[in-house]
Amino acid sequence: MFACAMYPADDVFLLNVVDEVKTQVKRLQRHPSLAMWAANNENEAALQGSWYGTFGKFEIYKADFIKLYVDTIIGNVSQLDPSRECLSSSPTNGIQTKLEGWVAQNPGDSRYGDVHHYDYYGDTWNHETFKRKTRYASEYGFQSFPYIGTLEKISSNFDQWTWNSAMVEHRQHHPRGQEEMRRLIQTHLPYPKNYNSTEAFPAMIYMAQIVQSMGQKTQTEFYRRLMDKLDEKDGTGHNMGALYWQLNDIWEGCSWASFEINGRWKMFASYMKRSFHPVLPSPYKNFDGDVVVELISDAIDDFSGHMRVRVFKFDSLTPLFDVTTLVAGTYLTSKEVFRIHEEDLERVGCDDGKLDPYPCLVHVTMPGTPTNFLLLHYPTNKSHLKFPNLRAVEHTASSDLKTFTVTLVTDEIAPFVFLNLRDSTHGRFSDNGFIMVDSQQVVTYESRDPISLHDFITQLDIMSLYDVTAVAQD
């Protein structure tokens, strides 16, 4: 209830807070997903950094901070729910914050406690952008808009939907949010020259979901790979948690959410389902140009299996490189299990991409784990993409009309395949937003409510990155 602001600490207000704490702790404390309590969001950092002009009266606000969050909230929460820790703020430096008198010199220090980290301007598809080796990443994220059909339901005039229109800005509550998303799209994808047009708006919405999903994937896997790594020089690393912002929408607007207000899964939700899988092969490019695959494991039992690593160019379904190897993982580790040296990438034609218009990607599969991939170069130009002729060739339904199977086929590599049921929001696909590198792939849809097979087929939309090239610049 306390976030990003300075609050009073007079007796009347504090009595109100005590009632609030009692009500909420008793209401929520039996939820099994509740790990800990936090007295506020970012208010320690706000006070120390004078976000709201408090520098000249720091000691007064610090005294109020301690009275409200430490004495009143922590004091009452610890009595009502002694089984869980109550933090004085988030981010906070934990024990170090307490030693510094509850307002640390550097709240969110990577060596202690938890960290909130956002980056809207770097290369968010490159793990090296996220250099902070945190102990616990408790907040990070990127924005996108919901599915275009969701937005159409709140406006009777589609001509109002352009990237910088007054209507869209009304749905965007983050300062500079439209510009930040636009820059991320321009950096990584075929950018429409007429991006601020009604014609380009559906493409921009789709690509905003891609850059959100890819940024969150890259940052999440970076944090997970740090779990067993400690930098002896500065004491950072050993990251043991990642909480992305945010789970669900509260309206049909731009946000950091993974689920729309109507329950529809954004592309981002499917990415997080994969990125947080207990066992995950995670490819990345390291500082010397090699591609490294680490096997991340949160599974209590040891894990082993045959992992297949392929390298493709966007112009062919035939891999340039194809190796299968036996790998193993153990609990709470992220270990290198495979490496492709830079000279081997160059040998198969995946150099810096300057001489060849077709980017390369690394594709990793392993039984029992999600498929994963790494783009070695970004498809920023429509010439990077060939018409995939992506289509569904078979649809089947279960007897209760709640489970549907779709067989997709493609003639070329289809990046960021997005499946959607236009009028059905209470269901999800087994995978979405994936890069299709095989000629055929089977996807299922689980619905809460029965749907006729005819309605499923007529509502199903299928698209890939190629479909935005009609509005992309030359």
Question: For 4-59, how does the pLDDT look when each residue is reduced to its tens digit (9 = 90+)?
Answer: 999 999 999 999 999 999 999 999 999 999 999 999 999 999 999 999 999 999 99
Q: How many CA atoms lie within 13 A of 468 on its CB side?
A: 31
| Percent with pLDDT over 90 in the chain | 91
Q: Tell me the pLDDT tens digit for each residue of 261-270.
A: 999 999 999 9
pLDDT computed for residue 132 by the predictor: 87
Specify the 3-state DSSP secondary structure of 333.
Answer: strand
Q: Tell me the pLDDT tens digit for each residue of 378-420.
A: 999 999 999 999 999 999 999 999 999 999 999 999 999 999 9
Res 185 pLDDT > 60: yes
Pick the CATH number of 384-471 from 2.60.40.10, 2.60.210.10, 3.40.50.720, 1.10.10.60: 2.60.40.10
Tell me how far apart the alpha carbons of residues 434 and 467 are, in angstroms, rounded to a whole number. 15
Domain boundaries in the chain? 11-109, 127-274, 278-369, 384-471
Structural tokens at position 101:
């008198």
pLDDT computed for residue 156 by the predictor: 74
CB 333 within 8 A of CB 294: no
Res 354 pLDDT > 60: no
* Mean pLDDT of the region 59-81: 97
CB 310 within 8 A of CB 362: yes
pLDDT tier for residue 116 given thresholds of 50, 70 and 90: very high
Q: Tell me the pLDDT tens digit for each residue of 271-288.
A: 999 999 999 999 999 989
pLDDT computed for residue 352 by the predictor: 62
pLDDT computed for residue 131 by the predictor: 85
Q: Whole-number mean pLDDT of the chain?
A: 95
CATH code, residues 127-274? 3.20.20.80
| Domain boundaries 278-369, CATH class | mainly beta
pLDDT computed for residue 198 by the predictor: 92
**Domain 127-274 shares a fold with domain 384-471:** no
This prediction has a pTM of: 0.95
Q: Tell me the pLDDT tens digit for each residue of 415-463.
A: 999 999 998 889 999 999 999 999 999 999 999 999 999 999 999 999 9
Contacts of 326 (CB under 8 A, 6+ apart): 304, 305, 306, 307
Q: Is the peptide bond before 91 cis (omega within 30 degrees of 0)?
A: yes
| Percent with pLDDT over 70 in the chain | 99
pLDDT computed for residue 262 by the predictor: 93
Structural tokens at position 290:
């090699």
Contacts of 423 (CB under 8 A, 6+ apart): 455, 459
* Mean pLDDT of the region 152-160: 81
pLDDT tier for residue 474 given thresholds of 50, 70 and 90: low
pLDDT computed for residue 157 by the predictor: 77
* Mean pLDDT of the region 89-110: 95
Q: Catalytic site residues?
A: 42, 139
pLDDT computed for residue 358 by the predictor: 86
pLDDT computed for residue 356 by the predictor: 64
